[in-house]
Structure 1
Amino acid sequence: MDPSVSALISLIKQHNLPEISELYTRSNSSENIAQLKFMYQSAQQSPEVYSFYQDLCTKVSASKAMPIGVIAGINDPARFTFFTPALKQNNGFSQANEQGNTALHILFTNPHNSVPPFNYIRSLLLFESNEGLIQALKQRNNQQLTAIECYFAYNTHFDNLPAHELSALLALIEAQAQLLTQQETVLAAICKKLKASEHAHQLSEDNHRILLLASTYKVSVSAVCDLLE
């Protein structure tokens, strides 16, 4: 076990929260990754301790920005939900890896997430003060793609979305449209990527991905299909 995690466990047993924050602050990035990983894994063991470890993670993230290595690992709904309060600290939603990808980029493109948690994210925007999340929606990576555009291009699950997730994604698209101008060159690049998918044959005119692209870039469904030919 990493010595920094052993020290963390000892302080938790002592209920010494101030010292925990000090330990986290003086630890290096690799040690912080191990500490946060321990908190997440411990939280999954029992509902009774989930809030404790989530609050602890949030507290230490307020004193020091979350390591990029952890951001890269927030790639599924369970991890995103656990780390949401921590991501609100120190502009966590806008932190990006070397490819310019934020937690949203990573979450939306993970091939294991056939349906990203669009409804959960919309709920955060509706019911909580979340300026950082709003900024993350418009943040482009090194390929000049937003998180939603990465979902369009790289998520290869083309089955139609459940109604509540489709409605939520449309709301997120509308929110993004108010933040930045959509570019037709990006649409062409997304369609080029989609054409290379082994499941591209699923992209018929009534497929949600086609309808969402047409809605986002204010073009006809037939125009999107033409780009996919």
Structure 2
Amino acid sequence: MDLSIQLLNARISKQQLNELDNDFRQLSPAQQTLQLNHLYDSAQRLSVKYDFMQNIAIRILSTNTAPSLFINQLTNIDALSFFTPALRVNKGFLVQDTQGNNVLHNVFKHADATKLPFNYVRSLMLFESNDDLVKALAQPNSHGLTPVACYIAYANKSSTPVKHEFSALLALMEIEQKQNPNAKQKLANVLKGQKVNETTILLSAAYLQRSTAQVAHLIKAL
């Protein structure tokens, strides 16, 4: 077990929670990532610890920027849900990894077709005021792609999302494009020449606001 995890466990067992923030600041980015992932893993293993571990994450990230390695490794909706209260403070949703991806980029890009994140993210925007989350939705990565564009370009999509997730995805497209109307062209550039399936063509058409025939011609997929 890494020393950073041993230290974290010791602080928790001795109720020395006020020391966690300073401890975290002294760690390497890799060790910081280990600590944050340990909090999540512990919460997943034992549900009675969920709120406690989540509050520790909030305590740590309220005064420390999340390391880029941690942002890169946060790739599923369960982890996003756990860390949402912590990311809500200190502009955590806008922190980017070395490829310029924020947490939404990484969660959307690795989206599990059986547990999509769009309705959850849309609900956060509807019921919890968080300007940074809205901004993160339109934030481009180093390739100029937004989180939604990353989903369309890279996620494993064998079929169209289920109805409520598809509706939420369309709403997220609208929110994004009100902020960053020029982002659409970047997706078209990435898809050009790629071999894509019908679902990708359909979602690209919705995102680019073109017909499926126009999109297919654009990327020469058919």
Match of 1:90, SS state, is coil
Percent identity (aligned):
34
Matching residue of 1:226: 217
TM-score (norm 2): 0.90
CA deviation after TM superposition for structure 1 residue 184, in Å: 5.8
Could you list the per-position Cα deviations for residues 83-118 of structure 1 after superposition, in whole angstroms to 9, with x for gaps in the alignment?
A: 1112222221111122111111111112x6225310
Distance 1:47 1:182, change over 3 A: same
CA distance in 2, matches of 1:191, 1:67: 30
TM-score (norm 1): 0.88
Could you list the per-position Cα deviations for residues 103-151 of structure 1 after superposition, in whole angstroms to 9, with x for gaps in the alignment?
A: 11111112x6225310000011011121111111111111111111111
The aligned amino acid for 1:93 is: F
Distance 1:8 1:188, change over 3 A: closer
Distance 1:169 1:10, change over 3 A: same
CA distance in 2, matches of 1:150, 1:73: 16
Matching residue of 2:118: 118
Are 1:159 and 2:150 counterparts?
no
Matching residue of 2:40: 40
Is the deviation greater in 216-225 or in 49-58?
A: 216-225
Residues paired across the two proteins, number: 219
Cα RMSD of the aligned pairs, angstroms, is 1.9
- Tell whether the 8 Å contact from 1:40 to 1:82 is kept in structure 2 after alignment: yes
CA distance in 1, matches of 2:137, 2:130: 11
CA distance in 2, matches of 1:21, 1:165: 37
Are 1:188 and 2:188 counterparts?
yes
- Tell whether the 8 Å contact from 1:149 to 1:190 is kept in structure 2 after alignment: no
Is the deviation greater in 84-93 or in 181-190?
A: 181-190
Q: Which runs of 4+ in 1 moved over 4 A?
A: none
CA distance in 2, matches of 1:224, 1:6: 53
Matching residue of 1:27: 27
1:23-102 pair list within 5 angstroms: 23-102=23-102
CA distance in 1, matches of 2:138, 2:176: 6
Match of 2:203, SS state, is helix
Distance 1:22 1:223, change over 3 A: same
Are 1:216 and 2:204 counterparts?
no
Distance 1:196 1:212, change over 3 A: closer
CA deviation after TM superposition for structure 1 residue 20, in Å: 2.0
Match of 2:65, SS state, is coil
Could you list the per-position Cα deviations for residues 168-197 of structure 1 after superposition, in whole angstroms to 9, with x for gaps in the alignment?
A: 10110111111011456434324326x324
Matching residue of 1:18: 18
- Tell whether the 8 Å contact from 2:145 to 2:187 is kept in structure 1 after alignment: no
Distance 1:152 1:82, change over 3 A: same
The aligned amino acid for 2:204 is: L
CA distance in 1, matches of 2:147, 2:132: 14
